[in-house]
Amino acid sequence: MINTISPIHQMDNTKQPTTVPLTSFFLLILLVAIFGVTIGYGASKFLNKPNTSLNKNAGKSIQTDTSAGISDKKTFKDTSEGVLREGGIDGEGNFHLERPGGKSQNVYLTSSTVDLSLYLNKKVRVQGETFNAQKAGWLMDVGLVEIIK
């Protein structure tokens, strides 16, 4: 005779599931929330240190009659010279440098630190960071501008 085991088992209905009283549940949630806020606040105060790597690389801010911007050769390592004109190319840059060789040699400029409009139609040297462009041959974010005499 083959002994088979039935896949259906009888449930023991004598044990009742244990429940946590509602007030204890809400008290536990409240304690966890207070603990989380306290840990988060403490961690933010403890770990919120100034970013010294940015401060070390930051250059000196310059504002004279002939130049303006930030002298930071680590961030702004690219330079170019030309006559500053208004207008970008197809939405890239707000200004451009006219350089010898025609339009193909223009450097299209934007700036997050210098008001380039103050230097329009002047021969300038710009120091900045080159960005990828879709239309412009050369697109630069200017950090420092100097009038060339």
Q: What is residue 133's predicted lDDT score, i.e. its pLDDT?
A: 80
Highest mean predicted confidence (pLDDT) among 12-21, 60-69, 72-81 = 72-81
Instruction: Give the CA distances from residue 54 to residues 49, 50, 74, in Å, rounded to whole numbers and listed in that order.
Output: 12, 9, 11
pLDDT tens-digit readout, 92-109: 888 999 999 888 888 989
State residue 43 phi and psi, 5-degree precision. Answer: -65, -40
Q: What is residue 29's predicted lDDT score, i.e. its pLDDT?
A: 93
Question: Buried (b) or exposed (e) across 92-128, using 16+ Cβ within 10 A?
Answer: bbebbbbbeeeeeebbbbbbebbebeebeeeebebbb
Instruction: Assign 136 a pLDDT band (cuts: 50, 70, 90).
Output: confident
Q: Are residues 103 and 143 in contact, defined by beta-carbon separation less than 8 angstroms?
A: no
Residue 54 has pLDDT above 60, yes or no: no
Question: Which percentage of the chain shows pLDDT scores above 70?
Answer: 79
